[in-house]
């Protein structure tokens, strides 16, 4: 009789070589929660044009960010898992990935075999969206073991306070002309069809600002990054906003990325390299990024507390 906790992140290629990146992208971009186009239309495009051109390019980006511990996203997820396990010594705490390894269903079934009578599944995505959270829910439910799922945690005061503390620590070091909250963008069609993601992102920004009365809301903009493909996605785009700020004479910017809890391609390559270069080339001066949670012990403790609360809530729901 044991309680389980499964932390789930997006995943990463097994290695930064082109073949492994291609395998990972094929799995990721074949998920209809991510790409809603009909398979008959999308699959030939994906296999014939996108994977052959994008895999090699993505592999070079992964090679830039790869560490001795492997993929930063996986290394930080492992670190969080270890810290949460220490906070919950009587629980069985493991991690899995939506795409790649370890597999969600396999891990949940292994936990059940090892004596977990109930497992909390906690996606490491603060805001719910169909393209990140829904695949986790589907894979977890398909495992056929007793689970309770945390759908989002953006609204949790403890989470917002940690973000506010991280921002305050960086804000105290110098004056900034602008503070950008940058979230992973999603197709606007998803929002039109009822996806709550945009509202949850805006609520995250507002919630954090409540804990930072010293930060003038006029300095703050909510932006979106990591657009993929030709369809319209949520705006304003981070890259365009950075260029516009410089044109307005705002050359000292601070960026926080609340939809990412661990460093990954989007923070390390897109933000630290590409967006930094765009900003500097436009005439920007100071470009500062607040790192994601990574191995922040306060965040790991928050995840542990959230799992305990979720189980309590699930127990009351069944009474």
> From the annotation, which residues make up the binding site for Fe(2+)?
184, 266
Scanning the chain, the segments in alpha helix (DSSP H) are 18-29, 39-45, 51-65, 72-87, 104-113, 133-142, 157-171, 188-192, 197-210, 238-247, 265, 276-281, 297-318
| Contacts of 150 by beta carbon, 8 Å cutoff, 6+ apart | 120, 121, 122, 123, 306, 307, 310
Could you check whether the bond before residue 102 is cis, i.e. omega within 30 degrees of 0? yes
Structure tokens at 90: 């009587």
Q: Residue 180's beta-bridge partner residues?
A: 221, 255
Q: Residue positions in the annotated binding site?
A: 69, 184, 266
Could you check whether the bond before residue 30 is cis, i.e. omega within 30 degrees of 0? no
Task: Report yes or no: 132 and 125 within 8 Å, Cβ to Cβ.
Answer: yes
Q: Give the span between the Cα atoms of 33 and 123, in whole angstroms.
A: 15
How far from 169 is each of 183, 217, 297, 312, CA to CA, in Å?
20, 17, 16, 34
Q: Residue positions in the annotated binding site for Fe-coproporphyrin III?
A: 69
Q: Give the span between the Cα atoms of 169 and 122, in whole angstroms.
A: 28
Q: Give the span between the Cα atoms of 223 and 117, in whole angstroms.
A: 42
Q: Give the span between the Cα atoms of 293 and 162, in whole angstroms.
A: 9
Structure tokens at 231: 């369809």
């Amino acid at each position: 009789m044991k309680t389980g906790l499964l932390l789930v992140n997006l995943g990463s290629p097994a290695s930064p070589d082109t073949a492994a990146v291609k395998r990972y992208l094929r799995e990721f971009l074949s998920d209809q929660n991510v790409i809603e186009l009909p398979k008959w239309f999308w699959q030939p495009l994906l296999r014939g044009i996108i994977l052959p051109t994008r895999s090699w390019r993505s592999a070079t980006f992964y090679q830039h960010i790869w560490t001795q511990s492997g993929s930063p996203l996986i290394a930080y997820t492992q670190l969080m898992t270890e810290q949460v396990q220490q906070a919950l010594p009587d629980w069985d705490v493991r991690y899995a990935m939506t795409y790649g390894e370890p597999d969600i269903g396999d891990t949940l079934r292994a936990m059940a075999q090892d004596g977990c009578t109930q497992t909390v599944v906690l996606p490491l995505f603060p805001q719910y969206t169909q393209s990140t959270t829904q695949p986790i829910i589907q894979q977890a439910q398909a495992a056929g073991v007793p689970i309770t799922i945390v759908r989002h945690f953006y609204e949790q005061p403890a989470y917002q306070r940690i973000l506010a503390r991280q921002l305050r620590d960086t804000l105290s070091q110098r004056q900034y002309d602008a503070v950008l909250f940058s979230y992973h963008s999603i197709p606007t069609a998803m929002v039109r069809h009822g996806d709550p993601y945009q509202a949850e992102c805006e609520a995250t920004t507002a919630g954090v600002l409540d804990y930072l009365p010293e930060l003038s809301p006029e300095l703050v903009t909510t932006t979106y990054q990591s657009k993929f493909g030709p369809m319209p996605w949520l705006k304003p785009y981070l890259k365009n906003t950075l260029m516009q700020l410089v044109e307005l004479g705002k050359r000292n910017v601070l960026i926080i990325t609340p939809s990412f809890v661990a460093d990954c391609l989007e923070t390390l390559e897109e933000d630290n390299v590409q967006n930094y270069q765009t900003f500097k080339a436009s005439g920007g001066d100071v470009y500062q990024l607040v790192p994601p949670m990574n191995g922040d012990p306060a965040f790991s403790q928050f995840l542990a507390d959230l799992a305990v609360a979720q189980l309590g809530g699930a127990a009351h729901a069944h009474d």
